[in-house]
């Protein structure tokens, strides 16, 4: 398997990209597709995930990314997307995490992809849905475009950070998860 860094690096990459899937489902997959297609960065794709770097996937994910980002600016559509985003982001987070766990044994990879990838993506997505609901209640939906812009920017930033500086991305994801869990815990107590 190599050094500890050889194991931690792809896990940090996968978890960072999965968290970004919680902000925008398709954008981290699209970034992964583009960067893998053009062989950018130090990490490749796991065997069996080469299709992600092929033109059909790149184009389909590009269209899906633009459509998803645009739909969050349409009133009512943003709420409909929030309903389906949590399960979709969980699947996307699992997929993108698994695709980057290059040298890990399959049993460990799938377990980590499901728990760390899908779990992180689902938690982040639930947190963003709660933020949008709060924005809707406080601003009658007028603040939702600001939330949508912040989420898209966060997904772009986190995807790039995960690909190029995965360990820093992992630290940011852990900070984000602590913040989300604290917020959820506070709401449960009230």
Per residue in 10-19, pLDDT (tens digit) is: 999 999 999 9
Looking at residue 99, its pLDDT comes to 96
Give CA–CA dist 119/130, Å, rounded: 17
- As a whole number, mean pLDDT of residues 147-175 equals 96
Please give the Cα distance from 35 to 163 (Å, whole number). Answer: 8
What is this structure's pTM?
0.93
Task: Return the pLDDT at 42.
Answer: 65
Write the pLDDT tens digit of every residue in 90-143: 999 999 999 999 888 888 999 999 999 999 999 999 888 888 888 888 998 888
């Amino acid at each position: 398997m190599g050094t500890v860094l050889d194991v931690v690096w792809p896990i940090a990459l996968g978890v960072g990209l999965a968290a970004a899937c919680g902000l925008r489902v398709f954008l981290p997959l699209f970034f992964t597709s583009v960067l893998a297609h053009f062989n950018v960065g130090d990490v490749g794709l796991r065997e069996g995930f080469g299709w992600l770097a092929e033109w059909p996937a790149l184009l389909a994910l590009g269209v899906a990314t633009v459509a998803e980002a645009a739909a969050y600016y349409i009133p009512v559509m943003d709420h409909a997307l929030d309903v389906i985003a949590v399960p979709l982001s969980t699947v996307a987070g699992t997929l993108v995490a698994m695709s980057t766990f290059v040298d890990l044994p399959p049993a460990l990879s799938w377990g980590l992809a499901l728990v760390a990838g899908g779990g992180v993506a689902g938690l982040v997505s639930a947190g963003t849905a709660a933020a949008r609901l709060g924005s809707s209640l406080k601003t009658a939906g007028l603040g939702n475009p600001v939330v949508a812009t912040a989420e898209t920017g966060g997904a772009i930033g986190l995807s790039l950070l995960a690909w190029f500086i995965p360990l820093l991305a992992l630290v940011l994801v852990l900070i984000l998860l602590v913040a989300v869990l604290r917020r959820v815990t506070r709401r449960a107590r009230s």
